[in-house]
């Protein structure tokens, strides 16, 4: 469980979150939605312990994330919106990070890359940005952590790659994994989500499981309706 309790966080004088609380239970795929500037990316970094709240506390399975304990970090993986990869072979990169993730699965890595129509025999420095994103998301799933956080994972992917992304996430999912996806591209993820969380101005407007009815849920309509009625 990830528990965010009454936190305040500001960049210099710009307060992003104040008195904010939210909880993510174990298991399932969560969509974290909100307008620009509502603090979605900041929340992911606070969950990872990469940022520290000025007030309040963020815990993962009861442990304060700011402590950066190895037993917590080995069960968490963040795919940020922007990143780069070193100009080395994929095998060398995997060899370097694998010791930090006890359940890392090279078989799952191969499966994810195959779903993205990519080989394992690649040099990371020779890839396009879209290809790097596919490789990094494959590594993230293969790490087999209990918590996987993704910030705008479909940005920069073409239509086919977005479809491949959904397949990769579904096949890489398991009962003990919790995936939190922060995104504006709601149509890219609406078929994946078990749970949706909508935040706005330090408030949680909606934090509920998605219950499928006769027709697929239109996440964009749900977001607009929720923001208009509750903010």
21 is written with which tokens?
């609380």
Q: What is the pLDDT of residues 53-102, one digit of tens each?
A: 999 999 999 999 999 999 999 999 999 988 889 999 999 999 999 999 99
Total tally of structural domains belonging to the chain? 1
- For residue 214, the model assigns a pLDDT of 52
Contact 32, 23 (CB under 8 A): no
CB 3 within 8 A of CB 47: no
What angle do the packed helices 129-142 and 159-172 form, to 10 degrees? Answer: 10
Determine the structural domain holding residue 31 and report its residue range. 2-230
**CB atoms < 10 A from the CB of 25, how many?**
12
pLDDT score of 228 = 84
Q: What CATH number does residue 222 fall under?
A: 3.40.50.300
Asked whether the predicted pLDDT for residue 173 surpasses 90, the reply is no
Residue 172 to residues 16, 58, 113, 165, 189, Cα–Cα distance (Å): 33, 27, 11, 10, 15
Q: What are 69's two structure tokens?
A: 């304990």
**Token pair of 225 as six digits:** 């309706």
* Cα–Cα distance measured from residue 11 to residue 112, given in angstroms and rounded to the nearest whole number: 36
In the chain, what percentage of residues exceed pLDDT 70? Answer: 97
Query: Can you give the pTM of this predicted structure?
Result: 0.92
Q: How far apart are CA 226 and CA 164, in angstroms?
A: 29
Quote the CA–CA distance of 131 and 228 in Å, as a whole number: 37
User: Residue 95: which H helix or E strand, with range?
Assistant: helix 90-97
């Amino acid at each position: 469980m990830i528990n965010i309790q009454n936190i305040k966080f500001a960049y210099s004088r710009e307060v992003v979150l104040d008195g904010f609380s939210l909880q993510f239970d174990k298991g399932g795929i969560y969509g974290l939605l909100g307008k620009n500037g509502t603090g979605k990316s900041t929340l992911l970094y606070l969950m990872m312990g990469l940022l520290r709240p000025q007030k309040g506390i963020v815990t993962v399975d009861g442990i304060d994330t700011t402590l950066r304990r190895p037993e917590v970090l080995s069960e968490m993986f963040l795919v940020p919106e922007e990143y780069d990869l070193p100009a080395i072979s994929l095998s060398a990169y995997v060899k370097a990070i694998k010791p930090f993730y006890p359940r890392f699965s090279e078989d799952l890595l191969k499966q994810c890359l195959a779903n993205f129509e990519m080989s394992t025999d690649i040099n990371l420095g020779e890839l396009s940005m879209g290809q790097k994103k596919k490789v990094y998301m494959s590594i993230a799933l293969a790490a087999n952590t209990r918590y996987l956080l993704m910030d705008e994972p479909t940005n920069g992917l073409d239509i086919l790659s977005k479809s491949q992304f959904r397949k990769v996430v579904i096949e890489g999912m398991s009962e003990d994994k919790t995936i939190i996806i922060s995104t504006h591209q709601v149509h890219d993820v609406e078929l994946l989500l078990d749970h949706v969380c909508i935040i706005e101005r330090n408030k949680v407007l909606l934090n509920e499981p998605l219950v499928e009815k006769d027709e697929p849920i239109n996440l964009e309509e749900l977001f607009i309706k929720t923001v208009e009625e509750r903010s």
